[in-house]
Amino acid sequence: MAHLGLLDHHGRPRVLPVTFAMVEGSLWSAVDHKKKGRPGNELARVRWVRERPIGSITVDRYDDDWEGLAWVQLLGAIAVSERTGHDDSVIAALMARYPQYRERPPGGPLLRLTPERSVWWRSAGDGAA
């Protein structure tokens, strides 16, 4: 699980949990079958990306031993990709990562973050970002 950071239509920061996979240097997330807050409408995250195509993805690792804490954040341009037949490698990567998608692959649009910058932190070692 990762956290997608976007700006909403008022320019306010929003953070949403998302599934993800790395494919060919980009981070991909899919709109899937899980219950959404506004069925039948384009999801807010998709509208926000269309309005302001920048954002971040943060992946963290929690450990009860705080020496194991870590996170990485990718920042960059985000685009909405409607499903075509050319996204098979992305869907395959998501299915490999999330067993739930093997039974029911995501059918909605894909979000593609092209990293322009990365920052990270870890408790062990130098911990520099």
Condensed to tens digits (0 to 9), the pLDDT of residues 29-87 reads: 998 766 556 655 578 899 999 999 999 999 999 999 999 999 999 999 999 988 776 67
Is residue 127 situated within a structural domain? no
- Residue 84 resides in a domain: yes
pLDDT of residue 9: 92
Residue 27 falls inside a structural domain: yes
**Entry pTM:** 0.85
pLDDT at 125: 73
User: For position 29, which CATH number holds?
Assistant: 2.30.110.10
Domain count, the chain: 1
- The 3 state secondary structure assigned to 65-129 is CHHHCEEEEEEEEEEEECCCCCCHHHHHHHHHHCHHHHHCCCCCCEEEEEEEEEEEEECCCCCCC
In a domain, 47, yes or no: yes
pLDDT, the chain, mean: 89
3 state DSSP class of 52: coil
Please state the rounded mean pLDDT for residues 108-114.
93
pLDDT at 55: 97
Does residue 128 sit within a domain? no
User: Could you list the residue range(s) of the whole structural domain that residue 10 is in?
Assistant: 2-122
16 falls within a domain: yes
* Tokens 């194991």 found at: 68
